[in-house]
Structure 1
Amino acid sequence: MKFDWDYFWQSLFTPSESFLNGLALTIVISIAAMALALILGLLIALMGRSRFVPLRIFASLYIWIIRGTPLLVQLVIIYTGFAAANLFRFEDLTLGLRLEDVTVGILIKGAVQAAIVALMLNESAYISEIVRGGLESIEKGQTEAALSLGMTPLASMRWIIVPQAIRVMVPPLGNSFNGLMKSTSILSIIGVAEMFQVGSSMSAATFKVFEIYIVVALYYLLLTTVWTIIQTFIENWLNAKAGLPKAESVWKRLFGFRSKRDRVAPKSPIADLEGVAA
């Protein structure tokens, strides 16, 4: 069987409406799950740093269980298991406004809701560890100094610790979001019509398996590449605000190419000492 180049280029540059809808759903689910995971992950991290033992135990158990079980298993339990046990069932939900006799809104299917919840819970466990590491990277003396000036623990966290820790947390958080976007491909197991599911349906209908899955892979690559560029700009912006050198360039991060800035060797402190001695 020959590779159908005409079908490949057509699917790549003029994708069908269903494929574009799957691409859009992949992006929406990724952003929604990541936003919720950031909030929950921050709460879990703060609970792990709490003075109250029950909160610390809960945070530790949560991280242990979520990180110790596969995302696919969690997804099936949340969507299928809970419904089979009559504990909870995700029903289709319509968000919108009712204008006279017409309702204008967005239909969110139950499978999409379960997908967002599962991704949020799974990602929040990893984010909580990222947040914990970022907060612990700040010297404790800064918290003590803030408290000695009359600031409350919450205020010192809000105005002193978190702004500095964000710069440390951005790179691993960006990598987590990259991984989350790729993890959406397993949502097809519960019938979510994201990009991979649409691609699978297209390959089954046309028998163009190799062509379709390469197109799907390239679109995932496009999504992660765009996010890598955005992440690089965010890191450079935070470094500029802190008066630090820029992070590595986009070209180096993506392809290993070094710009002139990357090729400039850092100034050695030994050279400085030799200059002083001379």
Structure 2
Amino acid sequence: MSIDLVWQYLCSPAFFQGAVMTLLLTLCSLFFGVVMGLILALLQESRFRAGPALAFVYLWLFRGTPVLFQIIFVYNVLPTFGLRFSAFTCAVLALSLNEGAYMAEILRSGLQAVRSGQRTAGMALGMTGGQIMRKVVLPQAARIVLPPMGNQMISMLKSSALVSVIAVQELLLVANQTASASFRYFEALCAAGIYYLVLTSLFMVFQAWLERALDPKKRRKPAGSLTDRLIRAARQPAPR
């Protein structure tokens, strides 16, 4: 093993651009996957029969087939129907559709975890259904679904390596091409592994920060702060 060669790969523009492409694929797919998952979760909670039926078909289809199959299908089959996209767009589309199926179950469990009595209380206060969902249900559901969504973020980062089959220049494809040219697979794959570990570590730090930001107990100011002392002083009766 050559440490200098690993460091050379880490600092090379090709590996850096591959890591940026991997990160971009992950973030785009997560964003559209969460949007799709929220729509499906709301469809499952819909009072209309067509909503749960459509959501069930979607989940059955995309959870029942491998993500690699979906990537190849989108890239090779859609052009036969006149739908031609770039390799990057096909990768984001396939990953987003797959991610939406799993995000739907995570978000649905979070929505169902909020007690129905809080919705009733919101209606008693004169809030509309949209206001109840936006101000009462979603803030509480967000704290519940954040840990499993964090796991999906890391899983999506690793699943993005599958798009190398459609020649998207992501991190693993760059490492494989570099190793094929020099036959130094160990050093090239070590460099790619370090990039993956750095990206997953950043996601874990971001998840921990977000959990702390959404937790009202952790956001609460210490009892001995200046604000608390001023409040206690204001509540004391004035001297006669």
Of structures 1 and 2, the one scoring higher in RCO (CA 8 A, sep 6+) is 2
Residues 1:119 and 2:95 are matched in the alignment: yes
CA distance in 1, matches of 2:168, 2:82: 19
For residues 202-241 of structure 1, the aligned pairs below 5 Å read 202-239=178-215
Residues 1:90 and 2:90 are matched in the alignment: no
CA distance in 2, matches of 1:112, 1:9: 28
**2:217 paired residue number:** 243
Is residue 79–residue 89 contact of structure 1 (8 Å, CA) maintained in 2? Answer: no
Residues 1:47 and 2:56 are matched in the alignment: no
Q: 1:182 aligns with which of 158, 161, 169?
A: 158
**2:138 paired residue number:** 162
Q: Give the length in aligned residue pairs.
A: 220
| Percent of matched pairs sharing the same residue | 34
Q: CA deviation at 1:4?
A: 2.9
Q: CA deviation at 1:149?
A: 2.2
Instruction: Name the CA shift for 1:146/1:42 in 2 (closer, same or farther; >3 Å).
Output: same
**1:63 paired residue number:** 59
Query: When the two structures are superposed, what TM-score results if normalisation uses the length of structure 2?
Result: 0.88
**AA at the equivalent of 1:54:** A
Classify the secondary structure of the residue corresponding to 1:243: helix
**1:73 paired residue number:** 69
Structure 2 unpaired stretches of 5+:
221-240
C-alpha distance after superposition, 1:217-271 (max 9, x if no partner): 11111100111011111111111xx22599xxxxxxxxxxxxxxxxxxxxxxxxx
**1:200 paired residue number:** 176
Structure 1 unpaired stretches of 5+:
92-109, 247-278
Q: CA RMSD in A?
A: 1.5
Q: CA deviation at 1:6?
A: 2.6
C-alpha distance after superposition, 1:67-99 (max 9, x if no partner): 11110000000111222xx214333xxxxxxxx
Classify the secondary structure of the residue corresponding to 2:172: helix
Query: When the two structures are superposed, what TM-score results if normalisation uses the length of structure 1?
Result: 0.76
CA distance in 2, matches of 1:244, 1:50: 34
CA distance in 2, matches of 1:17, 1:10: 10
Moved over 6 A (4+): none
More strand as a share of residues: 1
**1:8 paired residue number:** 6
